[in-house]
């Protein structure tokens, strides 16, 4: 996420970090603001319910949690960039998740879908 923060900040973006622990320690220096939650992974729900779109980057368990919460919430675009490919038990794709190959493609998909 440090690279995401650096990229967004370099383009004049407002970058908010929502920390799972009780301190700002370890937060990216590229954040515009840091919200300390001390809520562990429960902060994923805060992220999803505050988002206009969710782009899951990579394949950590926290990323899978955020994708699942966003899909359950509904009504917002969900894009996976690398990592998780989520399929049903029969091997078919789970409807509603978009997949991107590059960060630019992920942002373009999220913005296009949010405009729908």
46 in a structural domain:
no
Q: Give me the number of domains the chain comprises.
A: 2
Range(s) of the domain holding residue 74: 53-116
Q: What is the pLDDT of residues 69-113, one digit of tens each?
A: 999 999 999 999 988 888 999 999 889 999 999 999 999 999 999
User: How far apart, in whole angstroms, are the C-alpha atoms of residue 113 and residue 43?
Assistant: 24
**98: which strand partners?**
79
In a domain, 48, yes or no: no
Residues 72 and 110 in one domain: yes
> Considering the domain boundaries, does residue 43 fall inside one?
no
Residue 45 lies in a domain: no
pTM of the model: 0.84
Q: What would the pLDDT profile of 29-54 be if each residue is shown by its tens digit?
A: 999 999 999 999 999 999 999 999 99
At residue 38, φ and ψ (nearest 5 deg) are 50, 35
Q: Are residues 72 and 109 in the same domain?
A: yes
Assign 3-state DSSP to the chain and report helix, strand, coil percentages, each to 5.
40, 20, 40
Whether 102 and 64 share a structural domain:
yes
Beta strands in 54-114 (DSSP E): 54-57, 78-81, 97-100
């Amino acid at each position: 996420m440090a690279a995401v923060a650096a990229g967004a900040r370099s383009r004049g973006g407002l970058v908010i970090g929502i920390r799972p622990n009780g301190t700002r320690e370890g937060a990216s220096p590229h954040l515009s603001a840091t919200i300390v939650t001390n809520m562990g992974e429960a902060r994923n729900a805060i992220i999803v319910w505050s988002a206009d779109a969710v782009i899951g980057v990579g394949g950590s368990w926290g990323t899978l949690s955020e994708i699942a919460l966003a899909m359950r919430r509904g009504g917002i675009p969900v894009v996976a960039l690398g990592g998780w490919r989520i399929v049903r038990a029969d091997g078919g794709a789970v409807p509603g998740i978009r997949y991107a190959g590059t960060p630019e493609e992920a942002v373009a998909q999220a913005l296009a879908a949010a405009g729908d």
